[in-house]
Structure 1
Amino acid sequence: EAAAILHRATPNSLVLMDEIGRGTSTFDGLALAWAIARHLLSHNRSHTLFATHYFELTQLPQEFAQAANVHLSAVEHGDGIVFLHAVQEGPASQSYGLQVAQLAGVPQPVIRAARKRLAWLEQHSADTGATPQLDLFALPSDPSDDDAAEAAAPAAPSALAEALDGIDP
């Protein structure tokens, strides 16, 4: 689909791109998303909404005056989040991936393990000053998965899951 868009979009086209490059390694995906966004801006010049989690793409308005950053507002309450669905100028100040996973019903042990791993990744990134590209097929460099057994334990069913289980088709 991206190839078709890049070959056919015109200045009169409305292009909606969602999470381009997310199905590959971090740097490959980022490089691909960046190049596609730049091509749409410089070559196709189409009206484009480019939804992405690659924060690095927020630098494009510095190179292209016609580019702008916007995000959807959200309000945090404790460990939870409420999405307000209001478009605001500028890039998002943070990611809400763990809160979204929690809203989607990911078991709490998995959320806790993810929070610990996120803290480790953020610390590692701060210590080295860089974000390493990981080999998708290599063994993890930090095999201390203390929460592996806890994460594998079944979570208590939610009220919604119990209600759905009680439905007789």
Structure 2
Amino acid sequence: RSTFMVEMTETANILHNATEHSLVLMDEVGRGTSTFDGLSLAWATAEHLAKQTRCYTLFATHYFELTQLAEDLEHAVNVHLTATEHDDSIVFLHNVHDGPASQSYGLQVAKLAGVPQGVIANAKHQLAQLEGEERPTAPTAPTPTEQPVAKAKAQPTASESVMQGDMFASMEPSVVEERLRELDLDGLTPREALNQLYELKEKLEG
């Protein structure tokens, strides 16, 4: 099973079995899938624990958008662990302060873990682009002498129009097209739909 499937299985177990007397620890829910899917799942999970289960929960996340829940939910609060930077390095102080974290330290942690310096430098460059610090300049408008000349689209002659009309009018629907029109897709099971697809493929290849 994938890491994300394991994560979702554990999340489902918590959501089904936790009670108001439980202590729930959630760590980076949604990290194993796309950003928007992961954020949506993390948000809905946190809301369910706060509104439905109403248990004491510590919910660690790097989705900054989730800090909005502290304003929307009565008993939700944001806290963060402090860190300090010095000479492009980082020291985690492990002090808990009120409020959301002001930034992420992913690149610094990667450097501490021994990721090659070239990769770190490239990551910084990519981060700057993603944050909009190195947006490409907008192209300048052409001068009057550079204005593109619009070309008039040639209109088809009367004979060409008649020929085109006759060509499309003479195109009869194929057997496959007729079969597709007759299919009741909502009434097919997945197996029946697959069988129909194989039959149509055989007709096309035949």
Fold similarity call, TM over 0.5: yes
TM range (shorter): 0.7 to 0.9
- CA shift in 2, pair 1:94/1:39, >3 Å: same
Larger helix fraction of residues:
2
- Residue of structure 2 aligned with 1:111, choices 100, 109, 120: 120
Find the counterpart in structure 2 of residue 77 from structure 1. 86
After TM superposition, the score normalised by the length of structure 1 is: 0.73
Structure 1: unaligned runs, 5 residues or longer: 128-169
Deviation at 1:61, TM superposition (A): 1.1
- Residue of structure 2 aligned with 1:56, choices 62, 65, 68: 65
Matched, 1:12 2:7: no
Deviation at 1:79, TM superposition (A): 1.0
Give structure 1 regions of 4+ aligned residues with deviation exceeding 4 angstroms.
124-127
Three-state SS of the structure 2 residue aligned to 1:31 is helix
- CA shift in 2, pair 1:26/1:126, >3 Å: farther
Structure 2: unaligned runs, 5 residues or longer: 1-9, 137-206
Matched, 1:34 2:62: no
The one-letter amino acid of 2:125's match is: K
Matched, 1:88 2:97: yes
Deviations 1:98-130 (A, max 9, x none): 000001111100000000000000007999xxx
Find the counterpart in structure 2 of residue 146 from structure 1. none
The one-letter amino acid of 2:114's match is: G
- CA shift in 2, pair 1:108/1:93, >3 Å: same
After TM superposition, the score normalised by the length of structure 2 is: 0.60
Please provide the CA RMSD for this pair.
Answer: 1.6
Counterpart CA distance in 2 for 1:45 and 1:36 is: 12
Count of matched residue pairs: 127
The answer to whether the Cα contact below 8 Å between 2:129 and 2:135 also exists between their aligned partners in 1 is no
Find the counterpart in structure 2 of residue 134 from structure 1. none
The answer to whether the Cα contact below 8 Å between 2:128 and 2:134 also exists between their aligned partners in 1 is no
| Percent of residue pairs bearing the same amino acid type | 67
